[in-house]
Amino acid sequence: MTSGQFVPASSPPGEWKRQGNRFTGRITRDSKSTPGEGPDDQGHWPVEPGRYRLVVSLACPWAHRSVIVRRLLGLEDAITLAIVDPIRDERGWRFTLDPDGRDPVLGIEFLSEAYLRTDPSYDDRVTVPAIVDTLTGLVVTNDYPQITLDLSTEWTDYHRADAPQLIPTDRAEMDALIEDIYRDVNNGVYRAGFATGQEAYEEAYDALFARLDVLEDRLADREYLMGETLREVDVRVFTTLARFDAVYHNHFKCNRQKLTEFPNLWAYARRLYQLPGFGETVDFDQIKRHYYVTQDTINPTGIVPKGPDPQGWLS
């Protein structure tokens, strides 16, 4: 398998490209499979509480989304959670929380074992989040954008009574906003941080801060990005904002200004942080150790910064 780092995804002109998602199965209410069976001919697995394991890194913004949505919807009992070590090497994400170094449910030491069981020819970077079927040990999906949408729309029978409706009935405006934020912000920080050419870096940098300026203006007169109601798009932008000053500003050279220097965005990020399901799922220690220790092409010394002070999120 390839290195645990991001180098293989870089393109010759210096522009960084994110790899695609290999496993795109879905867990759906209309699956033609019955409980205990594998996917149907559409690649849809049956909704079955207690069957699936959500594997995440608390350092990863893409995985962090699924942790927040699972918590917001009250799916903790329906879908179990496995947390990998934030330090990833060429073997990929590893399970270290259990004393014997194996996930107690899946019985594996590395997430790559589930990837290779599902596709023995897999030779790309192992990513989180991933949902693994505990009956077969196979990876159902690592399609992070779809995972959170399906938690909202396919697992409704197991939502808690007061769960927020994160997906509006008319999704057009939110989907367009999600796409803009993904391109320029969520993925934009990576395109800047992993660029290997000046022009590619500056293009990503400019697009990032242009989009943050738009969001700053949008939040001048509203509580959340879609108005007065918490939506999926708020979760998606939050996980990038939570890492901005701690990692992206310095480590990824996204340093026109800090999040704390955007009055509306900073107030918005703090509001989200103080909601149940958000701040309690942020682990700044794991976030900083992952980025600064594992990405040695950017930070060869491996020194992890002490700041910023996380108490600022509670003000």
22 contacts: CB under 8 Å, gap ≥ 6: 115, 119, 122, 124, 142
Q: How many CB atoms lie within 10 A of CB 121?
A: 5
Query: Phi and psi (nearest 5°) for 254?
Result: -95, 70
Given the residues 60, 273, 291, 292, select the one marked as catalytic. Answer: 60
CA dihedral 44, 48, 50, 53 (to 10 degrees): 10
Q: How far apart are CA 109 and CA 103, in angstroms?
A: 6
Given the residues 52, 144, 190, 205, select the one marked as catalytic. Answer: 190
How would you classify the pairing of strands 26-28 and 130-133? unpaired
The answer to whether the CB of 281 falls within 8 A of the CB of 242 is no
DSSP classification of residue 20? P
190 belongs to the catalytic site: yes
Q: How far apart are CA 166 and CA 308, in angstroms?
A: 30
254 belongs to the catalytic site: no
Name the residue among 143, 187, 264 with its Cα closest to residue 15.
187
Active-site amino acid positions = 60, 190
